[in-house]
Amino acid sequence: MSIEDRMKATAKNIEGKVQEAVGEVTGNPQDKAEGKEKQAEAQVQHSVENVKDNIKKAIS
């Protein structure tokens, strides 16, 4: 798996957590929801990369 792809997913996860926290503090439900959505996207990206890694290992 590409370290760059992992880093992008991790950055998106952190961005989502920050946005969710800001939404929580400010009482903005849209920011909170968008933050959770970014975290979910990051989790999917990590899962895809894990599958790619497993396929590469199986082929090797």
Pairwise CA distance, residues 53 & 57, whole Å: 6
Q: With H, G, I as helix, E, B as strand and everything else as coil, classify residue 23.
A: helix
State residue 60's pLDDT score: 81
Query: Residue 38 phi/psi, 5° resolution?
Result: -65, -40
Q: Per-residue pLDDT averaged across 5-13, rounded?
A: 95
Query: Residue 10 phi/psi, 5° resolution?
Result: -65, -40
pTM, rounded to two decimals: 0.85
Is the Cβ–Cβ distance between 60 and 43 less than 8 Å? no
State residue 24's pLDDT score: 97
Q: Hey, what amino acid is at 46?
A: H
Q: Where are the domains of the chain?
A: 3-53
